Amino acid sequence: MTNEAVRVENLTFQYPDTEEEVLKNINFTLHFGEILGIVGPTGAGKSTLAMCLNGLVPQVIEGELRGDVFVKEKNINETSVAEISEHVGFVFQEPENQLSQMTIEEEIAFGMGNLGVAREEMINRIKESLEQVGLSGFEKRSPLALSGGQQQRLAIASVMAMRPSIMIMDEPTSMLDPKGKNEVYDVLQNLKEFNMTGIIIDHEVERIATYCDKILVLDEGQVKAFGSPEEVFTQIELLQQLQLNAPQVTGFLYQYNRQFNRRAKLATTVGEAVTSFESEYN
Ligand SMILES: Nc1ncnc2c1ncn2[C@@H]1O[C@H](COP(=O)(O)OP(=O)(O)OP(=O)(O)O)[C@@H](O)[C@H]1O
């Protein structure tokens, strides 16, 4: 068995009422233990791509799909959404839309109930998933009494309790303050410990560069770049063309090199930038 979590081959998709394809010949592979960040301008097709990975598109949201999506080596065109949801968890932008129960433990039990998980096992998983997102001890509280960051972590815990091996988050931090954003990214980082795969759509390039192993840049339905943060975020001209930001440190080093005719290695995190800057002078 390979370590392949997701493989997308020649994926093209068009909604019934759009004139153009919104995804055009997309190809990429993601392995277990890797975190993928998807970035791109508004309307690039990021959410549509995410929904192709759990079968919502085209099985629930209809349209014409060509090409193939494999999740754990199974072609999802030949798998029901219910079956895929056992493997692929989805966290949406606004956590309150995903929360419906009176207490936090009921909230986490809810999704597992739909999967037919036995009661004893549910109790274990509630405990474990709350530990994973740092919400232990909150079992009896109302989800509404949580902060935005905590609600988003609860939404993640509810999905994690269903034990998907792939977690997709569509702009999970856009409503959160910096502390809440860090909390969500810390959970994302934890997924790797469990050899899970995470896919996050976000505009937070600094955090994406720090936490993700692979970056996919999508524009007008096409993959413009795919690779490590270093491979992707150092393509400053491409990012500028697409009106996307590189991490600030990368932009700084790029500008510094141009202005002073230097060759400092373009780094994507502050730690690497310090090393790069240091070695310019030594
Ligand atoms: N259900 C739908 N029916 C028709 N067109 C749609 C539908 N959903 C999205 N679109 C269109 O498909 C294109 C891609 O939308 P999508 O939401 O996937 O982009 P996105 O990159 O996630 O954008 P954003 O960053 O603004 O969320 C857009 O032109 C959008 O208007």
Query: Is ligand 1 within 6 A of the CB of residue 18?
Result: yes
Position 163 scores a pLDDT of 86
Tens of pLDDT along 188-218? Answer: 888 888 788 999 999 989 999 999 999 999 9
45 CA → ligand 1 middle, Å: 6
Q: How would residue 70 be classed by pLDDT, with cut points 50, 70 and 90?
A: very high
Supply the pLDDT for residue 1.
56
Q: Is the ipTM of this complex over 0.90?
A: yes
Mean pLDDT, residues 251-264 = 91
The per-residue pLDDT for 232 is 97
Contacts 24+ apart (CB under 8 A), 175-183: 175/93, 175/94, 175/95, 175/148, 176/148, 176/149, 176/152, 177/148, 177/149, 179/149, 180/147, 180/148, 180/149, 180/150, 180/152, 181/149, 181/207, 182/207, 183/134, 183/149, 183/150, 183/152, 183/153
Q: Atom 25 of ligand 1 has which residue's CA nearest to it? A: 42
Q: What pLDDT digit, counting tens, does each position of 30-58 carry?
A: 999 999 999 999 999 999 999 999 999 99
CA–CA dist 246, 239 (Å, integer): 7
List domains and CATH numbers for the chain.
Answer: 4-230 (3.40.50.300)
Span from the CA of 43 to the centroid of ligand 1 (angstroms): 5
Distance 116 CA to ligand 1 centre (A): 33
**Per-residue confidence band for 66, with pLDDT thresholds at 50, 70 and 90:** very high
Tell me: the pLDDT tens digits for 159-169?
A: 889 889 999 99
- Which segment of 17-26, 43-52, 182-191, 222-231 scores lowest on mean pLDDT? 182-191
Point out the ligand 1 atom lying closest to the alpha carbon of residue 203. 25
Query: What is the average pLDDT across 68-83?
Result: 90
Residues 255-265 have a mean pLDDT of: 90
Of 260, 268, 95, 124, residue with least CA distance to 187:
95
Percent of the chain with pLDDT over 90: 59
pLDDT confidence of residue 278: 83
pLDDT band at 149 (very low <50, low <70, confident <90, very high): confident
φ/ψ (deg, to 5) at 261:
55, 45
Atom of ligand 1 nearest to the CA of 50: 18
**pLDDT over 90 (residue 239):** yes
CA 74 from centre of chain: 20
Q: What was the pLDDT predicted at 4?
A: 93
43 lines ligand 1 (CB under 6 A): yes
Is the CB of 61 inside a 6 Å radius of any atom of ligand 1? yes
